[in-house]
Structure 1
Amino acid sequence: MKGADAMDAVMVFAPSPVLTVTVEDLDGEADIHIHAGGQGVWQARMLHSLGASVTLCGVFAGETGRVACDLIRRQGIEVLPVEGAGSSGAYIHDRRGGERQELAESPGHRLSRHELDQLYSLTMRGGIAAGTAILSGPAHEGIVPDDAYRRLAADLGETGCTVIVDLSGDRLTAAVRGGVALVKVAHDELVESGRADSSKPGDLIPAMHSLVDEGAGTVIVTRAQEPALLLHEGELSEVHVPSLESVDTSGAGDSLTAGIAAALTSGRSMFDAVTQGSAAGALNVTRHGLGTGDAETIRELMGLVRIIPYSGGQSTATAEGTSPDETAKGSLTR
């Protein structure tokens, strides 16, 4: 249920945005890029690209926080900030050799009780107004208590807000206990947290059902180059996307989550939402910018995404793609 003034609006809980400095090579010269970053920021950036009205709630502290907040606002994203007393995180990466090499990193400070209380109130305000919320993780461990995710999920859900989480480990467990509409999680995160013994579908699928039993409505598990697994209303599907040349896989999962949220908040079906999210994630790996991509190209790629019933590893997909309308109607999907 959206707030009275909300239209295709999403609130992103991004507790600890970071300031990023990346050095690229441009014809033998250092090409320096300065951006705001972190999971929630990348999600907000893709949401904005897809035409959603985005509000980001986070703590911004010190010089790095002030710069990051200004950069986010300059991208057309509304920010409900808490002005923290410490310093926000930051990192410097060198990509001139083709791979990301970390030169320096500052994790940012653990949020105080006062900062958490302020952030909680702003997040509730933004979520109620938007009607759809993404809860994203902090940049580092220990910045936000895990139980804050349970409380937010429960309280936002109580207001009628559609809650989507892109989390792992104890934060995921806490949020699901609060009740969420959708969980997006990577296969390796399920293994690392002990929810699955391996990345094989036979181990991942029981973990997906467990998440539903604990309080998740729908679960999507990404599997790197393999088709994602989708559990929705008790039915298991595979999500097949075009295999595009990868420049940087970072941010692909966040783009997927954002694409799903943008579609759901506009009233589209879960399968159409997953189709859009998958197309957004596929496009993002072809770009240097994290959480970036133009909406028109994403719409074209949607026609190449296929969601098919899970077949125990034996693909039943045909060589032909489906249009978003066909996907939503279930001509090749459920």
Structure 2
Amino acid sequence: MSDVTIFAPSPLLTVTVEQVEGSDEIHIHAGGQGVWQARMLRSLGIDVTVCCALTGEIGSVLRDRIAHEGVTVSAVERAGRGAAYVHDRRGGEREEIAEQEGDPLNRHDLDELYSLTLRDGLEAGLVVLSGPAGEGTLPADLYRRLASDLRQAGARVVVDLAGERLAAALEGGVDVLKVSHEEVIDDGLAEDASVERLLPAMHELRSRGAGAVIVTRASDPLLFLDDDGALQVASPDVVAADSRGAGDSLTAGVVAGLARGESLRDALTLGAAAGALNATHHGLGTGEGGAIERLREAVTVGEIPRGAPSDTPTAGRVSPDGLAALAEPPTDTDEKDPA
């Protein structure tokens, strides 16, 4: 039995071209929000099941790639086009060469995937609802139904969503919501990323169905709100190599803490450390567990007084060499630079 189940309806195949010592290297990996979260959870020693739809020949490759990372795959297999992209990173920045969104799930596929997620989610007792690779992959209302049914049956539900899918999940009710400040602003709930603007939005999100709310603010301290009040959580100000995937790693770190039996407030520090370390990598959802645990010691937490929000100082900048010094000698055997 896995510790955590992740609903990752439409994973994608990622093909990335690198240049190493003057020669081209091609890397093929599984990707997508739920897969990146699962990868980080595995780095933190958590057993994970990913519930997904695997489509066509791309799906066959994805099953192998996901399982290779030590993740249990619970899948609906179907014909058609799966989601994938090809990126060229030889010049130092990502350049999109090609992208395929993949075919939407039909009613039969949705019913089967729903049943798999309920079964595995209730067995684990802790479920992450993540988004699909394509906007048109599945109806948003599925998140309302899943959130409601899982919680009614006793599972804890964590969501990392935005837009219509977020609104649907809130209608069903969730234990923990993680969202970025950009997504809060895009939904018209706040005008900017200041504490004064975001805290009322977080109260609104709680009134709409979230037990606790985490709002990330890029390099600024994240905000947290629950029944006991509001916190700011500041990660060390790392030198980022690629900020993509840091939010998914943060979510995975929080969920890893919950799976270990930590309180949500304590789990926030593990999430902040996981997100910070991932930002120093080019690979998404990557980070050596020992380094994350050591970096966690540099995360700072401060209460936000009721009615008087104010920013707390961030921790000092940590260089890549400094991050390496935080970790014990690595024993990581994962593939090089998942992307």
TM-score by length of 1: 0.91
SS of the aligned residue for 2:267 comes to helix
1:93, distance to aligned residue in structure 2 (A): 0.6
**Per-residue CA distance 1:85-143 (angstroms, 9 max, x = gap):** 22210000111111111000000011100000010000001101111000000112111
User: Match of 2:333?
Assistant: none
- Mapped to 2, the partners of 1:228 and 1:51 lie a distance apart of 24
Contact 1:252/1:282 (<8 A) preserved:
yes
Contact 1:229 1:238 (C-alpha < 8 Å) held by counterparts? yes
| Correspondent of 1:235 among 229, 234, 237 | 229
CA distance in 1, matches of 2:81, 2:67: 19
Q: 79-88 or 220-229: which moved more?
A: 79-88
Amino acid at match of 2:6: V
Residue aligning to 1:185: 179
Q: Which residue of 1 aligns with 2:190?
A: 196
- 2:51 pairs with one of 29, 34, 57: 57
2:179 corresponds to which letter in structure 1? V
Q: Which one of 99, 102, 114 corresponds to residue 105 of structure 1? A: 99
- Tell me what 2:276 maps to: 282
Q: Which residue of 312, 317, 334 corresponds with 1:315?
A: 312
Task: List aligned pairs for 1:238-257, cutoff 5 A.
Answer: 238-257=232-251
Question: Is 1:33 aligned to 2:30, yes or no?
Answer: no
Q: Tell me the SS of whatever aligns to 2:238.
A: coil
Separation (CA, whole Å) in 2 of partners of 1:165 and 1:84? 26
Matched residue type, 1:269: S
Matched, 1:90 2:87: no
Residue 234 of structure 1 deviates from its aligned partner by 4.2
2:321 maps to none
Amino acid at match of 2:188: G
| Aligned-pair CA distance for 1:186 | 0.4
Deviations 1:293-316 (A, max 9, x none): 111111101100011012633426
The equivalent residue for 2:207 is: 213
Question: Does the CA-based 8 Å contact 1:36-1:68 persist in structure 2?
Answer: yes
**Preserved contact between residue 244 and residue 286 of structure 1 (Cα < 8 Å):** yes
CA RMSD in angstroms, aligned pairs only: 1.4
Q: Is the 8 A contact 1:308 1:317 kept in 2?
A: no
Measure how far apart 1:283 and its partner are: 0.4
2:160/2:251 contact within 8 Å kept = yes
State the one-letter code of the partner of 2:140: D
Report if the CA contact (8 A) 2:236-2:315 is conserved: no
Deviates more, 1:149-158 or 1:192-201: 192-201
Residue number in structure 1 paired with 2:335: none
- Give the superposition deviation at 1:255: 0.5
SS in 2 for 1:243: strand
Secondary structure (helix, strand or coil) at the match of 1:307 reads strand
Contact 1:64/1:87 (CA < 8 Å) preserved in 2?
yes
Q: What secondary structure sits across from 1:268 in the alignment? A: coil
3-state secondary structure, aligned to 2:134: coil
Distance 1:272 1:198 in 2: 27
Identity of aligned residues (%): 52
Is 1:291 aligned with 2:285? yes
Letter of the 2:18 counterpart: E
Residue 318 (structure 1) shift:
8.1
Q: CA deviation at 1:32?
A: 1.1
What secondary structure is seen at the aligned counterpart in 2 of 1:279?
A: helix
Q: How far apart, in 1, do the equivalents of 2:243 and 2:195 lie?
A: 22
Q: 1:318, 1:18 → 2: CA distance?
A: 35
Runs of 4+ in structure 1 displaced over 4 angstroms? Answer: 316-319
Please give the alpha-carbon distance, in whole angstroms, between the structure 2 residues aligned to 1:241 and 1:111.
39
Give the drift of 1:285.
0.8
Alpha carbons of 1:299 and 1:204: their partners in 2 closer, same or farther (altered >3 Å)? Answer: same
- 1:150-204 deviation line (CA, Å, top 9, x unaligned): 0000000011111000000111111011111100000001111222222232221
How many residue pairs end up in the alignment? Answer: 313
User: Residue 107 of structure 1 aligns to which amino acid in structure 2?
Assistant: E
Correspondence for 2:264: 270
Give the structure 2 partner of residue 151 of structure 1: 145
Whether contact under 8 Å (2:235, 2:315) holds in the other structure is: no
Q: Secondary structure at the match of 1:133?
A: strand
Corresponding position of 2:7: 13
Q: Provide the rounded CA distance (Å) in 2 between the counterparts of 1:203 and 1:139.
A: 30
Kept in 1: contact 2:14–2:28 (CA 8 A): yes
Q: Deviations over 1:60-97 (max 9, x none)?
A: 01111110111001111000010122221000011111
Deviation at 1:144, TM superposition (A): 1.2
CA distance in 2, matches of 1:186, 1:117: 30
**SS of alignment partner, residue 192 of structure 2:** coil
Which one-letter code corresponds to 1:189 in the other structure?
E
Amino acid of the structure 2 residue aligned with 1:94 = D
Aligned-partner SS, 2:154 = coil
**Contact in 2 for aligned 1:131/1:265 (Cα 8 Å):** no
